[in-house]
Amino acid sequence: MAERKLLILFGSQTGTAHDTAERIGREAKRRHFQCRVEALDSYEVANLINELLVVFVCATTGQGDPPDNMKMFWRFLFRKNLPPSSLCQLDYAVLGLGDSSYPKFNFVAKKLHKRVLQLGGNPLLPVALGDDQHDLGPDAVVDPWLLALWDKILALYPLPPGLEIVSPDVRLPPKYTLHYLAEDSPHPDGGLLQPTAPRTVPSELHPFPARMVSNQRVTAESHFQDVRLIEFDVAASGITFNAGDVVMIQPQNCPEDVQQFCQLLRLDPERCFVLKPTEPGTSLPALLPQPCTIRYLVTHYLDISCVPRRSFFELLSYFSTNELEREKLQEFSSAQGQEELYSYCNRPRRTTLEALWDFPHTTCAIPPDYLLDLIPRIRPRAFSIASSMLAHPDRIQILMAVVRYKTQLSKPRRGLCSTWLASLNPEQGDVRVPLWVKKGGMKFPADPDTPVIMIGPGTGVAPFRAAIQERVAQGRRGNCLFFGCRQKSKDFYCQAEWEELVTKGFLTLFTAFSRDQEEKVYVQHRIRENRRLVWELLSSGSAHVYLAG
């Protein structure tokens, strides 16, 4: 009897592919497979030649790029020297998650499918192309594709004699069990934010606890939007960056939400616990200290402010002791209930914490062991770096709009990271923010004589501030900026800085203030008015054009 082992490898940027991979893992367990779910970059890719059965789940980001957690795998797979029969014993299937409003729709999944085929792999099914634009989201493609996949897999690996598929009514065990320590055990002191001597260049697994130096509002108090220029001290971190690079910031939940969550689930925030994996071989969550307090878990790890996914309601339905609540949860997790779920969750941007409020009987019955299966981890947020190391050594600045908007829910929606950062006041003591730097998609020309045309309305001007600072420090003059905002007196970011550079001859500046006159004027109008200059820079100066929104 062939060993019934299935490997599920995912590449995920926002968490959807990870969520889908875990769903396939649960379905595999119901069919009695030994199953591992791993991010592509945590998997030892050289072992792929020994695998017999693999499902790949991958998202496509930006302009057809692979997600961050599969970049190394991607480079390895496309090495020219891999023999064409490397994967000849592999049965595989590829599930793609994309958005058909982008030109390179599901590019990564299509290319992966083709490459594994070239290397001798045997596809079980055509590649699945999940689409965010579909009324029912990617599930419209994923649901029927998975049914077909299990038919194929069970034909190759039938159920062992005497075993049935575990019924969907049966709750699967949690990924980890939570073991409380004795009440009097010493408290761990949230290890993440203690400044430590940097071992390596800071990264997602080892962020640098940067000190916030300043947090300044750069829009008028009367302006509807709160925009901040925030500066961090990264001295002795080993961080280096260029214009166009991105700083990743790991946010946390606000104390009021943490307290509410603990009350709803009847958890003592001060209790300490250790996690133990249910199955051998499962690694522990990288960013959680062991031992850990419930408060630390909820503050720094569980994303209680994200909009919950279908899998959340599916798992929640198993804990429900109340028939009405259970029926509603089951509806939300069924294929037929997806429009209803969209109206309840996605359209009004209802948070996980708010959804738990709506199911009080179920919520107070959630076993703590299942918290990490139920709620995803808080994802880092990316910000364009708005300063240059040449102008501000050992510093990183960002230009950040505080996200706040209304939906049909009475309480305004708030961005987790921007609200948290805006609330920090470095004048009231030592404020630390976990961060690291990532290469950005913008590269500015190496040739000092190449002119640069930058179009940056609103906070889109951030990477251009870094580029202009860098280029001015290098003595380069061909800098042309089109900047747009609503009103000169309210949201003209960095006005004094730009005007000084214009005076010194380093910058040509065109501004569009859309609300300062009767008819609205935007950056595209200024580009049209200055078409001769733009064309001259493009045709004879071979200028590079950059656009950031």
Which DSSP string do the residues of 414-430 spell out, in sequence order?
Answer: E-HHHHHHHH--GGGS-
- Please state, for a pLDDT cut of 70, what percent of the chain lies above it: 97
Tokens standing for residue 382: 């990316």
Please tell me the distance from the alpha carbon of residue 466 to that of residue 24, in angstroms, as a whole number: 43
pLDDT tens-digit map of 424-441: 999 999 999 999 999 998
Assign domain 5-156 to a CATH class.
Answer: alpha beta
Q: Where are the domains of the chain?
A: 5-156, 208-251+380-438, 255-374, 452-547
Q: What is the pLDDT of residue 125?
A: 97
> What is the mean predicted confidence (pLDDT) over 130-156?
93
Inform me whether the pLDDT recorded for 196 exceeds 70.
no
Residues 6+ apart with CB under 8 A from 425: 215, 431
Please tell me the distance from the alpha carbon of residue 479 to that of residue 456, in angstroms, as a whole number: 13
In the chain, what is the straight-line distance between the N-terminal and C-terminal CA atoms, in Å? 57
pLDDT tens-digit map of 302-341: 999 999 999 999 999 999 999 999 999 999 999 889 889 9
Contact 68, 13 (CB under 8 A): yes
Say if residue 291 is preceded by a cis peptide, omega within 30 of 0. yes
pLDDT tens-digit map of 486-520: 999 999 999 999 999 999 999 999 999 999 999 99
Q: What is the pLDDT of residue 381?
A: 96
Q: What is the pLDDT of residue 464?
A: 98
Could you name the CATH architecture of 452-547? 3-Layer(aba) Sandwich (3.40)
pLDDT tens-digit map of 211-251: 999 999 999 999 999 999 999 999 999 999 999 999 999 99
**pLDDT band, residue 282 (cuts 50/70/90):** confident
pLDDT tens-digit map of 355-408: 999 999 999 999 999 999 999 999 999 999 999 999 999 999 999 999 999 999
Q: What is the pLDDT of residue 479?
A: 95
> What is the mean predicted confidence (pLDDT) over 156-166?
95
pLDDT tens-digit map of 19-67: 999 999 999 999 999 999 999 999 999 999 999 999 999 999 888 999 9
pLDDT tens-digit map of 440-484: 989 999 988 899 999 999 999 999 999 999 999 999 999 999 999
**Sign, Cα dihedral of 501, 506, 510, 514:** negative
**pLDDT band, residue 195 (cuts 50/70/90):** very low
Please tell me the distance from the alpha carbon of residue 526 to that of residue 510, in angstroms, as a whole number: 7
Q: What is the pLDDT of residue 188?
A: 63
Please tell me the distance from the alpha carbon of residue 139 to that of residue 47, in angstroms, as a whole number: 31
**pLDDT band, residue 270 (cuts 50/70/90):** very high
Contact 203, 286 (CB under 8 A): no
Inform me whether the pLDDT recorded for 198 exceeds 90.
no
Please tell me the distance from the alpha carbon of residue 28 to that of residue 21, in angstroms, as a whole number: 10
> What is the mean predicted confidence (pLDDT) over 171-188?
87
C-alpha distances (whole Å) from 198 to each of 212, 240, 251, 381 are: 18, 14, 20, 22
Same fold, 5-156 and 208-251+380-438: no
Please tell me the distance from the alpha carbon of residue 165 to that of residue 325, in angstroms, as a whole number: 26
Tokens standing for residue 186: 């010493």
Helix (H) or strand (E) holding 155: helix 139-156
What mean pLDDT, rounded, does the chain reach? 94
> What CATH number belongs to 255-374?
1.20.990.10
Given the candidates 3.40.50.300, 1.10.357.10, 2.40.30.10, 3.90.480.10, the CATH classification of the domain at 208-251+380-438 is 2.40.30.10
